[in-house]
Amino acid sequence: MKRNIKGNVNWIGYIDWELDSFHGDDYSISNGSSQNAYLIEEEKTVLIDTVWLPHRFEFIENLEAEIDLEKIDYIVVNHGEVDHSGALVPLMDKIPNTPIYCTANAVKSLEGQYGRRGWNFRVVKTGDSVDIGNGKKLIFIEMRMLHWPDSMATYMTGENILFSNDAFGQHYAVEELFNDKADPFLLMREAMKYYANILNPFSPLVSKKIQEIVGLNLPIDIIAPSHGAIWRDNPLQIVEKYAEWAKAYQENQVTVVYDTMWDGTAKIAHEIARKISIHYSDTIVKVYNISKSDKNEVMTEIFKSKAIALGSPTVGNSVLSSVAGWVEFMRQLKFRNKKAAVFGCYGWSGESVKILKEKVSEAGFEVVGESVRAQWNPNADDLAAVPALVAALIGASV
Ligand code: FEO
């Protein structure tokens, strides 16, 4: 059923309370999600985006219950990823000549995923627009690499709605649709998790794009993303957050991440946390065993941190696979302006700390302090090295 957003604009998406992972299993979903599509019924009828493939038939049934599909004058595809374009094939089978407004890269992604079907693409660039009647128009804004090369946003004049697609979204189910109905803590936590795990690599582009959007001087009453809550109460609050997050964001936090075989490396991890909490009580410290933790939630904590301590025992002349895989994920996210120190136990060859240093350095972290490296179980002499490592992470003298 369509639900009113403002004026003649309605939401017609899918609220996905059952979803528990996204991008395969690469992004954990803790509070549901949604795929938001929008139906504009001015003199022209416009559909903005669709839903994910598994929900395509239900989406089309819902759409048909609201309007005669033949009445759709234009379809806007802000982004070709399957969670928004998943219903296009059965929809276009029913209305094959309907113009699809999208970027040149979206044509590539749609044809790449669904084949060349002879769809009536109208390729648009930033500043292009289309009249939709009643004195209103849609203006297109390319959002290249936010987060795909094909991404764009669509701005509706008259109602002053920015359909931002993935940008400003969250994987968060809000049955009432709007940000003022959402749990404020969960809303911002999920928005931050989305930014940290998906958008952070593109932060320099986020900063530029925000300046560009602000420079357009368009009044914005509503920001309607393609996932999660629609921002109608103080919609610019999320733009301000993005501007802050894009500038190598950090809080006064240190996060300790490790895995362990026989608890020696765990012992060092907790000693690091204990020393921080005792000697630097203004600093928040959190500890995660990465093999037992949600990697996306931990990555959100890394996003908030000014420094990390990373530990692994030596195994197979290297580090545990849980740590290696997680550091590779962290490298992809291109964090900036953060420090890292490393630690780990070993029985025989003891390469883990050297390898960890290389890995965090490749991930863009400034490696600081002497590593804490202990043979067999850490003894008092080994743990005596912890205060210096902690001081280096905090940026204080011992
Ligand atoms: Fe929500 Fe990039 O798809």
User: In CATH, what number does 253-394 get?
Assistant: 3.40.50.360
Numbered ranges of CATH 3.60.15.10 in the chain: 3-245
**81 in catalytic set:** yes
- CA angle in degrees (0–180, nearest 5) for 231-237-241: 120
Which residue, by CA, sits nearest to atom 2 of ligand 1?
81
- Pocket, ligand 1, Cβ cutoff 6 A: 79, 81, 83-84, 147-148, 166, 226-227
User: In sequence order, which residues have a C-beta less than 8 Å from that of residue 115 and are 6 or more positions away?
Assistant: none
Average pLDDT of every residue of the chain: 97
- Cα four-point dihedral sign 172, 177, 183, 185: positive
**194 in catalytic set:** yes
CA 189 / ligand 1 centre spacing (Å) = 18
Which secondary-structure segment (H or E) carries 212?
helix 203-215
- Of 16, 195, 227, 259, which one is the catalytic site residue? 227
- Of 16, 41, 81, 301, which one is the catalytic site residue? 81
198 Cα nearest atom in ligand 1 = 2
- Of 38, 42, 49, 79, which one is the catalytic site residue? 79
Per-residue model confidence as pLDDT tens digits over 60-102: 999 999 999 999 999 999 999 999 999 999 999 999 999 999 9
- Cα four-point dihedral sign 133, 134, 135, 137: negative
CA 218 / ligand 1 centre spacing (Å) = 24
Which residue, by CA, sits nearest to atom 1 of ligand 1?
166
Per-residue model confidence as pLDDT tens digits over 10-55: 999 999 999 999 999 999 999 999 999 999 999 999 999 999 999 9
Give the integer Cα–Cα distance in Å for 145 and 330: 18
398: confidence class by pLDDT, cuts 50, 70, 90: low
CA 374 / ligand 1 centre spacing (Å) = 44
Per-residue model confidence as pLDDT tens digits over 332-387: 999 999 999 999 999 999 999 999 999 999 999 999 999 999 999 999 999 999 99
35 Cα nearest atom in ligand 1 = 1
CA 305 / ligand 1 centre spacing (Å) = 26
**166 in catalytic set:** yes
**84 in catalytic set:** no
Give the integer Cα–Cα distance in Å for 278 and 11: 51
CA 204 / ligand 1 centre spacing (Å) = 19
**180 in catalytic set:** no
Q: What is the length of the chain?
A: 398
- Of 83, 150, 259, 271, which one is the catalytic site residue? 83
Compute the average pLDDT of residues 113-137. 98
151 Cα nearest atom in ligand 1 = 2
Which residue, by CA, sits nearest to atom 3 of ligand 1?
81
Residues paired with 153 in a beta bridge: 141
The DSSP letter of residue 230 is B
- CA angle in degrees (0–180, nearest 5) for 89-38-235: 140
CA 166 / ligand 1 centre spacing (Å) = 5
Query: What tokens does 126 get?
Result: 């930033």
pLDDT at position 396 over 90: no
pLDDT at position 121 over 70: yes
**171 in catalytic set:** no
Per-residue model confidence as pLDDT tens digits over 6-16: 999 999 999 99
Residues paired with 155 in a beta bridge: 139, 162
User: In CATH, what number does 3-245 get?
Assistant: 3.60.15.10
CA 297 / ligand 1 centre spacing (Å) = 19
- Of 14, 42, 142, 147, which one is the catalytic site residue? 147
82 Cα nearest atom in ligand 1 = 3
Give the integer Cα–Cα distance in Å for 366 and 130: 49
Phi-psi group of 173: left, alpha or beta (phi > 0 → left; psi -120 to 50 → alpha; rest → beta): beta
262: confidence class by pLDDT, cuts 50, 70, 90: very high
